[in-house]
Structure 1
Amino acid sequence: MPLNPEKLPLYQKGQEIFDITSKIIDLIQDDDPILSHIKGMMLEDAAMLTVKVSGAEAGDLYDIRMESAALIRKAARELGTHCTTLEMFGFPDTQYLVLIREALEVYKLLFREWVQGFDPWNYTLDDWGLFNPPGIHPEE
């Protein structure tokens, strides 16, 4: 039976990252169209760190969990990239971006542990062939 996702350390760290990101992007002036666009992407990516954990826990099946894990990884990596983009485009408060980067490093460790707990034999066949357990092929 899936856990309440809010009790998971991964979920809690994701919520912390969302909160940190929200506070930092509040410093971005809306009159800069580039930084304003990055602001929206950062908030979306930070939200994925909890939303997709909840979806994976609710779905419980290996293929659903792996798909969510791939989306979480993508969102976390892009959030880190957005920090660099802010620096490149003149965001004046770059000293706070280290908070996001450090939290993402901890999140990554928790993520690895979480993924190791997936049960590969609790699955439905992914006929696309991308998120099947090792050794299981869509033709089966």
Structure 2
Amino acid sequence: MDHIVKIAENSEIEFEEEFEEDMIKYNLESLIENSLIIPAKIAGAGDEDMLYDIKMENAAIIRQAARELITDSRGLQMHGYKDIEYLDLLRKEIEVFRVLFAEWVKTFDCWNYIIDRWGLFNPPGINYDDHDPDNDLPFNDNGFDDNDTDL
């Protein structure tokens, strides 16, 4: 990504409208930002014991960042970035990554979960308003029995 950004910054792109320069700057900033988000969120979701909803949330952010890389590369091209072979390479690598990513997501343990009350990342068959059987356990959130007075 650094290479694409440096080439764009050093190229002499002729702008028809003043806003186009701002758009390219925005595209370049977004490319860098999204390229940094992806590995950070992969690392964040890499813990095998992490809850399903947290892993899926990280996966959604990764997907969004990868898709924005494609969008921003198209924006660069639309505004006059000439070295499109680098953008084509980026698109091909994202496609390879997409397949690996989809296979990785399939490995998430959907039964290691707490109910996502927002309803976005529940395992199949679990709804945001389902009863949580953990609420029936005979202790409070601090891990101690409510009747334990010896502490």
Q: What TM-score results when the alignment is normalised by the length of structure 1? A: 0.79
| Residue 33 of structure 1 pairs with residue 22 of structure 2 | yes
**How much has 1:46 moved relative to structure 2?**
1.2
In the alignment of these two chains, the number of paired residues is 120
Q: What secondary structure sits across from 1:135 in the alignment?
A: coil
Q: Are 1:28 and 1:36, in contact at CA under 8 Å, matched by a contact in 2? A: no
- Unpaired segments of 5 or more residues in structure 2? 13-20, 132-151
- Unpaired segments of 5 or more residues in structure 1? 1-20
**Larger RCO, structure (CA 8 Å, separation 6 or more):** 1
Q: What secondary structure sits across from 1:138 in the alignment?
A: coil
Name which of 18, 22, 30 aligns with 2:2.
Answer: 22
Query: Once superposed, which parts of structure 1, at least 4 consecutive aligned residues long, lie more than 3 Å away?
Result: none
**How much has 1:92 moved relative to structure 2?**
2.3
Q: Are 1:29 and 1:35, in contact at CA under 8 Å, matched by a contact in 2? A: no
Q: Are 1:52 and 1:69, in contact at CA under 8 Å, matched by a contact in 2? A: yes
The two structures, once aligned, show a CA RMSD in angstroms of 1.7
Partner residue of 2:50? 60
**How much has 1:123 moved relative to structure 2?**
0.9
| Residue 46 of structure 1 pairs with residue 35 of structure 2 | yes
Q: Which has the larger radius of gyration?
A: 2
Q: What secondary structure sits across from 1:127 in the alignment?
A: coil
User: Relative to total residues, which structure has the larger helix share, 1 or 2?
Assistant: 1
Q: What TM-score results when the alignment is normalised by the length of structure 2? A: 0.74
Q: Are 1:67 and 1:131, in contact at CA under 8 Å, matched by a contact in 2? A: yes
Amino acid at match of 1:66: M
Q: Are 1:42 and 1:82, in contact at CA under 8 Å, matched by a contact in 2? A: yes
